[in-house]
Structure 1
């Protein structure tokens, strides 16, 4: 159940944490971070644990992911979960542009599953990011992904995309983080060695001694975790700057992140570096979305990384405020380094020649049990949209329902041009997942590059996807049908 505490109790807890740190640390911090920087302090309560990592070497990441039911620690209890490699928070896959990923998935659950590498610009055809295939129980599949040498750098994720079962499997635990290295090259030299933390946001509902997956109600009481931990402690020195990879890798819910007394300085969104760094007091992270941010330690003390109350509309859900983690600022102060303003170059499609314009309309029935794109529910055998390799298209995504939807396209990222007619800042337009307001619309531009084949677009509220809100996109060569395209199975 989501924890709630009075302001007095939160203050007392924060002071106790700070005193424990100051009493126990002497010189401020114990251990080292992933880049040799300081780790979280030795204080009462769980210290934030970054997920283990599988790292590419010499241009290759070779890995095995085993899907199985296990009773594992989730937050502060042991529950049956659908795990990757026996963990609710599985290994982070860390690669570089130009790398090849050889990944063998072994299915040991009694239902079909598969794998989607969310946001990666890789082929949608087998043996790469083909979400139409089904890996049967006690079978395996060997995926091969080749990242372009100019692949955007930032945070991505991997998860089940099994037809009609993605919400249940992701909610049960089938999701992890992917990092494409390279963001640090855009930081000033004084910040290239900073401590980095993964802040992977997953939530779980409980039924008996298991994570609940059937039926899954978006609005039910849920338990929010960071890296599979409930309210872990994150340590930072006064004046220190850290890189946080914020990733919403759960099935359905939204986050409205807030860190009182601090600002999030965004350097990448959905795995794509921004042209100019921008700062915010709060970040709404729709289902499936990610932000890479810089956070600077303030005065000594404690504060809470929290998600504020968020309402997705009268037909949607009202997510309550909840604590996610405790930030403890203590130890030897660090001279604050200047934060960057200009950041990374990126392509601007504002003046691109538009080859075609499409309209994508989200609707749902009054009961909220069937969801549609352009009046039709998902059918993997049917092509709903066709786009031509080497062209740029402009899509209007219109939401004719009374709740927000999280729009996602596979294979190619897109530029967000406007929301409800209001232009989006050109310096931070690249996304692969964007929130569409209730009774509103967004306009995006997509450059179809490098890959042909059948793929999908959908709402990334996975309950909605599983209930019909997904469509097939066929990317073809200029001459017509793509060669060797993947087909629905």
Structure 2
């Protein structure tokens, strides 16, 4: 989240583009410093506040100042510049970016340090989505308030949708879940691009109205259009989508009603 409370920016690129990102680590000085053997990219010491950025799922180079995550360290007070080159054949779709310092990435992700990265042009291989209203939805996880023991209907982690909490019961026998709600016009189709940007949570994603899971059409998985190598019009139809960690899906849904949750 940005200092003014806004969601981390959604980055848009085209195949063949160059993306330049300047990162300044404004977190407090870390503890537990550990020297990293060369070759190094950035600082030579890893500590509890070290950060870097992984451009998840993209075909960018693993070289220093591109998508290198093993030796790249940006410590408190330091500024680092990324200069990524996207290949001309980068598949259009939804990707995401997040810190990837080994050993402390979970903590950073549960602090919501993640954002969406869209390689534009999916309408070229899935023309049906070109005229639809688009929503980009990032699911992140966090600790349940009060840190109750996970049992019954109390989960190990709560989740948020674009930083809006989707709260779960704190009583094991309660079913007082608070779902996410989005408005739709009657008969409207929407193009929904969903990323499981959590560190520990596996999702079974459904669009439910009046207790009934609605039909969805999956048009892309992990940034790759479904069946795009065979039939640009082909789409997988289902009423639920299993989303493991770091998975992204692009779907089309329509309702005769006005709300899906």
Q: How high is the TM-score relative to the length of structure 1?
A: 0.41
How far apart, CA to CA, are the structure 2 residues paired with 1:301 and 1:120? 35
Deviation at 1:198, TM superposition (A): 1.0
How far apart, CA to CA, are the structure 2 residues paired with 1:131 and 1:152? 22
How far apart, CA to CA, are the structure 1 residues paired with 2:56 and 2:5? 20
Contact 2:14–2:119, Cα closer than 8 Å, also in 1: yes
2:7 to 72, 80, 89: 89
How far apart, CA to CA, are the structure 1 residues paired with 2:20 and 2:87? 15
* Deviations 1:343-365 (CA, angstroms, capped at 9, x unpaired): xxxxxxxxxxxxxxxxxxxxxxx
The number of residue pairs the alignment matches comes to 212
Q: Secondary structure of 1:167's match?
A: helix
Q: Which residue number in structure 1 is paired with residue 63 of structure 2?
A: 125
Higher strand share: 1
Contact 2:196–2:246, Cα closer than 8 Å, also in 1: yes
How far apart, CA to CA, are the structure 2 residues paired with 1:296 and 1:137? 46
How far apart, CA to CA, are the structure 1 residues paired with 2:127 and 2:115? 29
Deviation at 1:199, TM superposition (A): 1.6
1:116 to 50, 54, 58: 54
* Deviations 1:73-104 (CA, angstroms, capped at 9, x unpaired): xxxxxxxxxx4555473111111111110001
How far apart, CA to CA, are the structure 2 residues paired with 1:225 and 1:253? 11
Deviation at 1:222, TM superposition (A): 2.8
5+ residue gaps, structure 1: 1-82, 305-489
Does 2:130 match 1:192?
Answer: yes
Choose 1 or 2 for highest CA Rg.
1
Does 2:94 match 1:155?
Answer: yes
Deviation at 1:264, TM superposition (A): 1.8
2:184 to 229, 236, 241: 236
Q: Which residue number in structure 2 is paired with residue 181 of structure 1?
A: 120
How far apart, CA to CA, are the structure 2 residues paired with 1:134 and 1:297? 47
Does 2:200 match 1:252?
Answer: yes
How far apart, CA to CA, are the structure 1 residues paired with 2:11 and 2:218? 22
Contact 2:195–2:248, Cα closer than 8 Å, also in 1: yes
Bigger relative CO (Cα 8 Å, ≥ 6 apart): 2
Contact 2:186–2:258, Cα closer than 8 Å, also in 1: no
Change (3 A) 1:92 1:155: same
Q: Secondary structure of 2:117's match?
A: strand
How far apart, CA to CA, are the structure 2 residues paired with 1:292 and 1:117? 18
Q: Secondary structure of 2:235's match?
A: strand
Pairing 1:383-422 to 2, within 5 Å after superposition = none
2:243 to 270, 275, 285: 285
Deviation at 1:186, TM superposition (A): 2.8
Contact 1:84–1:174, Cα closer than 8 Å, also in 2: no
* Deviations 1:309-350 (CA, angstroms, capped at 9, x unpaired): xxxxxxxxxxxxxxxxxxxxxxxxxxxxxxxxxxxxxxxxxx
Deviation at 1:185, TM superposition (A): 1.9
5+ residue gaps, structure 2: 30-48, 166-178, 228-233
Contact 1:88–1:174, Cα closer than 8 Å, also in 2: no
How far apart, CA to CA, are the structure 1 residues paired with 2:130 and 2:16? 21
Q: Which residue number in structure 2 is paired with residue 222 of structure 1?
A: 157
Pairing 1:8-407 to 2, within 5 Å after superposition = 83-87=1-5, 89-109=7-27, 110=29, 111-132=49-70, 133-188=72-127, 191-205=129-143, 221-230=156-165, 231-259=179-207, 260-275=212-227, 276-298=234-256, 300=257, 302-304=259-261
Q: Secondary structure of 1:184's match?
A: helix
How far apart, CA to CA, are the structure 1 residues paired with 2:156 and 2:59? 35
Q: Which residue number in structure 1 is paired with residue 36 of structure 2?
A: none
Q: Which residue number in structure 2 is paired with residue 360 of structure 1?
A: none
How far apart, CA to CA, are the structure 2 residues paired with 1:112 and 1:86? 22
Contact 1:205–1:222, Cα closer than 8 Å, also in 2: yes
Cα-Cα RMSD: 2.2
Change (3 A) 1:256 1:88: farther
How far apart, CA to CA, are the structure 1 residues paired with 2:244 and 2:52? 23
Deviation at 1:207, TM superposition (A): 6.2
Contact 2:184–2:259, Cα closer than 8 Å, also in 1: no
How far apart, CA to CA, are the structure 1 residues paired with 2:125 and 2:84? 26
